[in-house]
Amino acid sequence: MSGLVCPVCGREGRGVCLDCFLEKRPIEFKELNLTFCNCGKVRSKDAWLEYSDWVVKDLVKHSLRASRDVVVENMKVSVEGDTAHITLDVIYEGKKGSKTFDLPITRSSSTCISCSRIRSSYYEAVLQVRGEDLNFHVNKDYLMKADKVRGGADYYMTSMNYAKQKAHEFLERGYFVRESSKLVGQKDGADLYRVYVSVRHPDFNPGDVVQHKGKLFRVVSLGRLVRFTEVDTRKSTTYPINALKDSKVVVSKGEVRKGNVTEVRPDGVQVMDAESFQNYELPKAGGMKEGDEVEFILISGRMRLL
Ligand SMILES: [Zn+2]
Ligand SMILES: [Zn+2]
C-alpha cells in the first residue's frame, strides 16, 4: 500500500479523488430546450434541421459545463420521451470514472426560415375595396399585405374564410360585393383556388335621390337591403343592394331644398323656396297646410316634394 489517500474522503489514491473533485466542481448542463417548427424541423444553433438524435446530442454537448481540469469523453445520449439519458466518462488527473445523468428536455415552437418565407408571401384571397369610405377593420393576423391602389386598397388575406366573412360584413353594410376565384395550381392533387372579393361603396348615400327602373327614390338607409322612399307615392320600399348597380344619383342630399307652404287652395298649393324665396305651384298634396315645412328637389326646373 502506497499510503496515499484522498485528503477529503480518505479513500485510497493519489490526491483528491474524482468523486470529491466532482462534488466541488460538478458537471452541469444548461436547460435542454428544443425549438420545433410546425413543419417538424428543429433549430440547431442558427440552422433548422430535420429532427434526429444527433441534434439532441449536439444540444447536450453544447450545454455541458465542466471544470477545465477534467476531460469528458465517450458521451452517449439517448432520448426517451422528454428525458435525455446521458452517460459519459470523466478523467481527472488520470483518474477515470463513468457518470450518468437524466435531464428533462423542454420544447418550444417557432417558425423556421423556409416556413416564414412561404408564409410571408402566402395569401388565399384578395379583398379589393374601392370607394371613399374605407373605414373598416381588418384582423392583422390574416393580413399578408395591403396595397394602396387607385380608388382604394387591395388586402392580401391568408385565410379564404376570413375574406368571405369580411365580404359578408361589407354586403350587410350596403356595399356592392362580387366574388370570383382563380385556379392558381394544385396541392396534394386538389385544385387550388384564390378568391378575389371586389367590394365597392355605392355611389349613393342616405338622403340622396336616385333613379331606379325609371322611378325616383330617396335613400333612407344602406344595407344588404337598401331602404327607400318612393318620391311619387311616398311609400317605403326596399331593394337588394346588388340590384342597384346601375342606379344613379339624380339629386344628392346636399342639393335637397327646404321650403314652406305659403298657400293652400282647393286646386293646389304654393311652396316658397326658403333660400331663393321663389314660389312654386304644385297640385295639392294631401294633408298640407299653410306654414308647413317641406323638403323638395328640382328636376328640370320642376319641383318634386319629398
Ligand atoms: Zn475523495
Ligand atoms: Zn418550418
Is the same domain home to 236 and 277?
no
Which distant-in-sequence residues (6+ apart) come within 8 Å of 159 by Cβ? 124, 125, 142
Task: Compute the distance from residue 42 Cα to the ligand 2 centre, in Å.
Answer: 8
Task: Compute the distance from residue 113 Cα to the ligand 2 centre, in Å.
Answer: 7
Which distant-in-sequence residues (6+ apart) come within 8 Å of 182 by Cβ? 193, 194, 196
Task: Compute the distance from residue 73 Cα to the ligand 1 centre, in Å.
Answer: 21
Number of structural domains found in the chain: 4
Q: Which ligand is nearest to the CA of 40?
A: 2
Q: Is residue 85 part of a domain?
A: yes
Task: Compute the distance from residue 47 Cα to the ligand 2 centre, in Å.
Answer: 11
pLDDT tens-digit readout, 254-265: 999 999 999 988
pLDDT tens-digit readout, 59-115: 999 999 999 999 999 999 999 989 999 999 999 999 999 999 999 999 999 988 888
Helices (H) and strands (E) in the chain, counts: 4, 23
pLDDT tens-digit readout, 179-233: 999 998 887 788 888 999 999 989 899 999 999 998 999 999 999 999 999 998 8
Is the same domain home to 196 and 210?
no
pLDDT tens-digit readout, 244-254: 988 999 999 99
Q: Which ligand is nearest to the CA of 112?
A: 2
Q: Is residue 53 part of a domain?
A: yes
Distance from C-alpha of 165 to C-alpha of 127, rounded to nearest angstrom: 11
Q: Is residue 222 part of a domain?
A: yes
Is the same domain home to 136 and 54?
no
Reply yes or no on whether the pLDDT at 141 is more than 90.
Answer: no
CATH number at residue 278: 2.40.50.140
CATH number at residue 231: 2.30.30
Q: Is residue 128 part of a domain?
A: yes
Q: Which ligand is nearest to the CA of 114?
A: 2
Q: How far is CA 66 from CA 23, 49, 130, in A?
A: 12, 27, 66
Distance from C-alpha of 295 to C-alpha of 274, rounded to nearest angstrom: 10
Distance from C-alpha of 111 to C-alpha of 109, rounded to nearest angstrom: 7
Which grid cell is 48? 433548422
Q: Is residue 4 part of a domain?
A: no
Q: What is the pLDDT of residue 29?
A: 95
Task: Compute the distance from residue 2 Cα to the ligand 1 centre, in Å.
Answer: 16
Task: Compute the distance from residue 117 Cα to the ligand 2 centre, in Å.
Answer: 9
Q: Which domain holds residue 156?
A: 121-200
Is the same domain home to 130 and 96?
no
